[in-house]
Amino acid sequence: MQVYECRKVEMKRDMDLVRDLLLFIENDPRLDGTLWLSPQKPQDVGVTNHSIEEVAYHLTMLVEAGFVKGNTGMEMPAICKLTWNGHEFMDDIRDPDIWDKTKERTKGLTSVGLAFIWEIAKAEIKTKLGLP
């Protein structure tokens, strides 16, 4: 039996990076499900303030969470499109005002899960629309 050692990566989830990656995937015409993109540098996915390791880590999480269709069997995931849930989440956090208010409401908490962030964004949308 062959044993492989995994590269140890210690990172925390960065929700701003998650949002930036989802926005890029949603807006890149190549990522319509007909092509696969495997970024070689952060700029390949519109990121300038994070390392390629951070990008790979977050893309892998987005694939695992079912927000992006991709293949995570390599060091850098190959991605091809947003999933239905990826589009749904983006629809709720795309507006910069909603995103800022969502982040403001979670300030001071040690950590907040993605599902909870999504619920806060939905609540902010309801508030903006004057709904109960």
| CATH number, residue 48 | 1.10.10
**103-114 confidence digits (pLDDT tens):** 999 998 888 899
Helix 52-64 / helix 15-27 crossing angle, nearest 10 deg: 80
**4-37 confidence digits (pLDDT tens):** 665 666 688 999 999 999 999 999 999 999 999 9
3-state secondary structure of 54: helix
Residue 74 has a pLDDT of 83
**Same domain assignment for residues 25 and 74:** yes
**Same domain assignment for residues 100 and 73:** no
**Same domain assignment for residues 67 and 100:** no
Helix 15-27 / helix 96-106 crossing angle, nearest 10 deg: 160
Residue 109 has a pLDDT of 87
Residue 96 lies in a domain: yes
Best CA proximity match to 57, nearest among 36, 45, 46, 72: 72
Residue 70 lies in a domain: yes
**Same domain assignment for residues 97 and 75:** no
For residues 86 and 67, the answer to whether their CB atoms sit within 8 Å is: yes
How many domains does the chain fold into?
2
Residue 69 lies in a domain: yes
For residues 60 and 15, the answer to whether their CB atoms sit within 8 Å is: no
The predicted model gives 52-63 an average pLDDT of 95
Domain that holds residue 108: 92-129
**Same domain assignment for residues 22 and 77:** yes
**φ, ψ at 9 (rounded to 5°):** -125, 120
